[in-house]
C-alpha cells in the first residue's frame, strides 16, 4: 500500500484541447505515420483530471462528462497508459494511481482529447509520486504515447514537425475567438489519414506554413488569420462525412472570418472577429440546427497545468 501520509493526497490538472490552424501532410512513411508540418493553438475546452494514490502496480481511470461512455476505461485508455509508462520509467515498483477525468474535449473530435488526458496524467502523476521529472523527459515520454501529447503538455501556439511531436514556439499576439461545431459523426484519426492516402498518395505536396498565417498571428489579426487557415486532411474528412461541407458553408454564410475542420475532424472550428461576433455566430449556428452541439472557446491557452 501507499504510505498513509500520502493516501488522501489529490493532484488536479487541467488540460486543453487544440485546433490546427495549418496542417500540411506528406505521404505515409514506412513507420505508418505521416510527416507533418502543423501550427497548433491550444483552446479553452478542458479535461480536468484528478490523480490519487493506489496500490503498487494498479493504474485505473473513471470518466465523467456527457461523452464519457465513448471512452474505454481499461488498460487501453491513454491516461492509464501514460501513468503506467511513467511509473515503469521511474524504476519504482511501489507506484500506483486512480485517475478521474471530467471530459469536455470532444471524443474522437480532432481536438486531441485523448492526448490531453495523457498529458494531464503524466503531469499529475509526476507530482503525486514526487518524481521531480524534467519537463523535457515528460515531453519525450509523451511523444511515445501519441504525436499530439507533447503539444498538450506545452499548449500556447506552436509549430509541430515530424509526426507533429517536435515543437517550436510560434509568436502570436492577442486572443482568438472560435466557435466549435461538434458533430455526430465519429471520425477516427487513422481512418482519415487512410482516406488522405487514397486521395493524395503523394501527400499534400507542400510543407511551408503560409507566410500570411504567420504574420497574421504576429499582428494579432483575426481577419487575416481567417483567410489563411488550411488543413490537408479536410478533403479526406469531408469525403468520409460529406455533411461537414454543409457545416463549413453555413458558418461562412453566417459571417465567420474562416472555418476549418479541426485536425482529422469531425469538429469544425470557425474564427470570429471578437467575443461578441463569436456569440452572434454561435447563436446563428444553433438557430439553424447545425451540428450536435456548439461551443465558444478562445486561444491560445496554456497546456496541461496544476490546479491549486
Answer for which of 17, 106, 109, 146 binds ligand C5P (CB under 6 A) is 146
Shortest reach from residue 83's CB to ligand C5P, in Å: 17
Q: Grid coordinates in use for 267?
A: 469538429
Instruction: Say how far apart CA 181 and CA 176 lie, in whole Å.
Output: 16
* 72 near ligand C5P, judged by CB under 6 A: no
Q: Is residue 106 within 8 Å of residue 285, measured between CB atoms? A: no
Q: 285: cis peptide before it, omega within 30°?
A: no
37, 173 Cβ separation under 8 angstroms: no
Residues carrying an active site annotation: 18, 148
Residue list 190-249, contact with ligand C5P (CB under 6 A) = 190, 193
| Interaction of residue 164 with ligand C5P, rule CB under 6 A | yes
> What character string, x for contact with ligand C5P (CB under 6 A) and - otherwise, covers 99-138?
----------------------------------------
When binding is defined by CB under 6 A, the residue of 9, 33, 44, 65 that contacts ligand C5P is 33
Near ligand C5P by CB under 6 A: residue from 15, 36, 139, 240: 36
Interface residue with ligand C5P among 34, 52, 81, 103 (CB under 6 A) is 34
CB atoms within 10 A of CB 139: 19
170, three cell numbers:
510560434
Nearer of residues 36 and 256 to ligand C5P, judged by Cβ: 36
- Minimum distance of ligand C5P from residue 224's CB (angstroms): 27
Contact pattern from residue 260 through residue 299 relative to ligand C5P, giving x for each residue in contact according to CB under 6 A and a dash for the rest: ----------------------------------------
Q: Which residues lie across from 56 on neighbouring strands? A: none
227-254 burial, b at 16+ Cβ within 10 Å, e below that, comes to ebbbbbbbbbbbebbeebeebbebbeeb
Q: Closest approach of Cβ 230 to ligand C5P, in Å?
A: 16
Q: Total residues contacting ligand C5P (rule CB under 6 A)?
A: 12
Residue 148 binds ligand C5P, judged by CB under 6 A: yes
How does DSSP assign 268-305, residue by residue? Answer: EEEEESSHHHHHHHHHHHHHTT-SSEEEEEEE--BSSE
Q: How far is 146 from 259, CA to CA, in rounded Å?
A: 26
What's the closest the beta carbon of residue 281 comes to ligand C5P, in angstroms? 30
Q: How far is the CB of 59 from ligand C5P (least distance, A)?
A: 19
> Rounded distance, CA 14 to CA 178, Å?
20
Residue 160 in contact with ligand C5P, rule: CB under 6 A = no
Q: Give the binding range for ligand C5P (CB under 6 A) out of 90-98, 118-126, 141-149, 295-303.
A: 141-149
- Residue 163 within binding range of ligand C5P, rule CB under 6 A: yes
Task: Pick one of 19, 37, 42, 147: the residue that binds ligand C5P (CB under 6 A).
Answer: 147
Count of all residues that appear for the chain in the document = 308
Which phi and psi (to 5°) does residue 99 adopt? -110, 145
Inter-CA distances, 193 with 26, 42, 188, 222, 305, Å: 11, 22, 9, 29, 30
Binding site for ligand C5P (CB under 6 A): 32-34, 36, 146-148, 163-164, 189-190, 193
Amino acid at each position: 500500500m501507499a504510505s498513509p501520509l500520502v493516501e488522501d493526497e489529490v493532484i488536479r490538472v487541467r488540460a486543453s484541447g487544440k485546433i490546427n490552424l495549418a496542417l500540411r501532410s506528406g505521404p505515409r512513411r514506412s513507420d505508418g505515420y505521416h510527416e507533418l508540418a502543423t501550427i497548433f493553438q491550444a483552446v479553452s475546452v478542458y479535461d480536468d483530471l484528478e490523480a490519487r494514490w493506489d496500490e503498487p502496480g494498479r493504474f485505473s481511470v473513471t470518466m465523467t462528462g456527457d461523452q464519457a461512455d465513448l471512452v474505454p476505461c481499461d488498460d487501453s485508455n491513454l491516461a492509464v497508459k501514460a501513468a503506467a509508462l511513467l511509473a515503469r520509467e521511474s524504476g519504482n515498483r511501489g507506484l500506483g494511481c486512480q485517475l478521474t477525468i471530467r471530459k469536455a474535449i470532444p471524443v474522437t473530435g480532432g481536438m486531441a482529447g485523448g492526448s490531453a488526458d495523457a498529458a494531464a496524467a503524466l503531469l499529475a502523476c509526476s507530482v503525486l509520486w514526487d518524481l521531480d521529472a524534467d519537463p523535457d523527459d515528460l515531453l519525450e515520454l509523451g511523444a511515445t504515447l501519441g504525436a499530439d501529447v507533447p503539444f498538450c503538455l506545452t499548449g500556447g501556439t506552436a509549430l509541430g514537425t515530424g509526426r507533429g511531436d517536435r515543437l517550436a514556439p510560434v509568436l502570436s499576439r492577442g486572443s482568438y475567438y472560435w466557435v466549435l461545431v461538434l458533430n455526430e459523426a465519429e471520425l477516427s484519426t487513422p481512418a482519415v489519414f487512410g482516406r488522405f492516402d487514397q486521395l493524395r498518395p503523394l501527400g499534400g505536396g507542400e510543407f511551408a506554413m503560409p507566410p500570411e498565417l504567420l504574420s497574421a498571428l504576429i499582428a494579432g489579426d483575426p481577419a487575416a488569420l481567417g483567410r489563411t487557415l488550411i488543413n490537408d486532411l479536410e478533403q479526406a474528412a469531408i469525403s468520409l462525412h460529406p455533411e461537414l461541407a454543409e457545416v463549413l458553408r453555413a458558418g461562412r454564410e453566417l459571417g465567420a472570418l474562416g472555418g476549418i475542420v479541426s485536425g482529422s475532424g469531425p469538429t469544425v472550428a470557425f474564427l470570429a472577429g471578437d467575443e461578441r461576433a463569436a456569440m452572434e455566430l454561435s447563436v446563428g449556428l444553433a438557430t439553424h440546427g447545425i451540428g450536435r452541439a456548439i461551443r465558444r472557446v478562445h486561444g491560445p491557452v496554456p497546456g496541461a497545468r496544476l490546479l491549486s
